Amino acid sequence: MKLNKNFNNLKENYLFAEVAKRVDNYKEQFPSADIISLGIGDVTLPLSSKAIDACKEAATDMSTKAGFHGYGPYDGYPFLKNAIVDYYKLRGVEIHADEVFVTDGAKNGIGNFLDLFDEDNTVLIPDPVYPAYVDANVLSGHKILYVDATRENGFLAMPPKRTKADIIYICSPNNPTGAAYNAEQLKAWVDYALENQAVIFYDAAYEAYIEGKGVVRSIYEITGARDCAVEFCSFSKMAGFTGVRCGWTVIPMSLPLNRMWLHRQAIKFNGTSYIVQRMAERMLRGGYEDSKRMVASYKNNAKIVMKKFDALGIEYTGGVNAPYIWFYCGIDSWEFFDYLLKKARIVCTPGCGFGKNGNGWVRLTSFNSMERTEEAMRRFETFWKEFLDVRDKLFAKLDK
């Protein structure tokens, strides 16, 4: 027996596991502490009543001989695939049902998609970035190159010159920085992918948070993208399905990856459950307004954070088109995490956990109630003023 040697190349602790560990240690010391989490990006609002109604109806179907469903299609039931097609039509994007594959979430879809690729591939990943991208490619044995996303480019990395890659990761709106690409910027990435005969893994898990003109919600709004891009999306952040698990992948028929992925799913995946797919369909059909209200609630929380940061003169990105606010603290991100938890009992996510360019930065999420977000900002205002008074005395300051 030989184990996957690439496991030895992983970091000892996954970012969010380390966050949870430190919070648990704090709770053990101070069990009565009132901790507000603006750290891990998990939703907090309950599911829409329309999703629950669909769940009950689908469960009733399963209790009858005529309505019972066993193994479903590997690529998803037609009723949900067609609902996703119509969802894209709302934005003027034409896709075909045969290009839609229902999954159990964007994270799983993106990670599992690497099964289609040989170990001999060079992967281009922005820094900072969602750490699961990196770890999945470490496990696959791919060569990883990084492209810098910094304050100078608005945390929107652009194609590097004189660097060739085979697989390109783009997340827009971005996790962790909340920055979103416009059409011109994405066109540059599409042109780069076509020139290098590369494929773009486009993570659109937060597309529902985009508002206004000029910012792109689907990579297929860009000319040429159908020849080089695969899009991953999810019901988690648009409909609160983090605990339900449902997402989709769009693979244009023009790419050989379409039939390869169907073959892979037939081997390793028995499909998302009928009940969950009926719930997802309802959120795109009769429950879409509920989804929009849920997103609007989290976006309002982001505005609460941004308003406080503006008043305090804090440098930040995100919040406008994403549920994440990315701000500059000026010290080691883990030291700031510990100090914020100790002094204000607020949980954040340290930016260095997303890559070297994230050190000195911190991510907050808007996934809490309005009341708890407002309380967090009251605490944060007091904390920040005290922090600035002692920052240079207690901590090694980072160079901008």
Which pair of structure tokens corresponds to residue 344?
């204000």
What does the pLDDT look like over 71-84, one tens digit per residue? 999 999 999 999 99
What pLDDT is stored for residue 13 in this prediction? Answer: 78
Indicate the average pLDDT of the chain.
96
Pick the CATH number of 49-286 from 3.40.50.360, 3.40.640.10, 3.40.190.10, 1.10.1520.10: 3.40.640.10
What does the pLDDT look like over 147-186, one tens digit per residue? 999 999 999 999 999 899 999 999 999 999 999 999 999 9
Give the percent of the chain with pLDDT over 90. Answer: 95
What does the pLDDT look like over 56-65, one tens digit per residue? 999 999 999 9
Q: Cα separations (Å) of 386 from 32, 178, 316, 349?
A: 23, 27, 19, 20
What pLDDT is stored for residue 397 in this prediction? Answer: 75
Contact 200, 229 (CB under 8 A): yes
What does the pLDDT look like over 186-213, one tens digit per residue? 999 999 999 999 999 999 999 999 987 7
User: Taking 70 as the threshold, does the pLDDT of residue 134 lie above it?
Assistant: yes
From CA 298, how far away is CA 261, in angstroms rounded? 34
pTM for the whole thing?
0.96
Domain 5-47+289-386 in this protein, CATH class: alpha beta
What pLDDT is stored for residue 400 in this prediction? Answer: 57
Which of these, 134, 143, 303, lies nearest to 211 by C-alpha position? 303
User: Taking 90 as the threshold, does the pLDDT of residue 260 lie above it?
Assistant: yes
What does the pLDDT look like over 26-42, one tens digit per residue? 999 999 999 999 998 89
Contact 183, 207 (CB under 8 A): no
Q: Give me the helices (H) in the chain, please.
A: 15-29, 49-62, 78-89, 106-112, 131-140, 183-196, 236-239, 257-268, 274-284, 288-312, 333-344, 370-394
Phi, psi of 250 (to 5 degrees): -110, 120
Which of these, 353, 349, 378, lies nearest to 37 by C-alpha position? 349
Which pair of structure tokens corresponds to residue 124?
């281009």
For the chain, the domains span 5-47+289-386, 49-286
Place of tokens 């983090």: 242
Which of these, 181, 179, 173, lies nearest to 203 by C-alpha position? 173
What does the pLDDT look like over 272-296, one tens digit per residue? 999 999 999 999 999 999 999 999 9
Question: Hey, do 5-47+289-386 and 49-286 end up sharing a CATH topology, with the first three levels equal?
Answer: no
Place of tokens 């998609």: 113
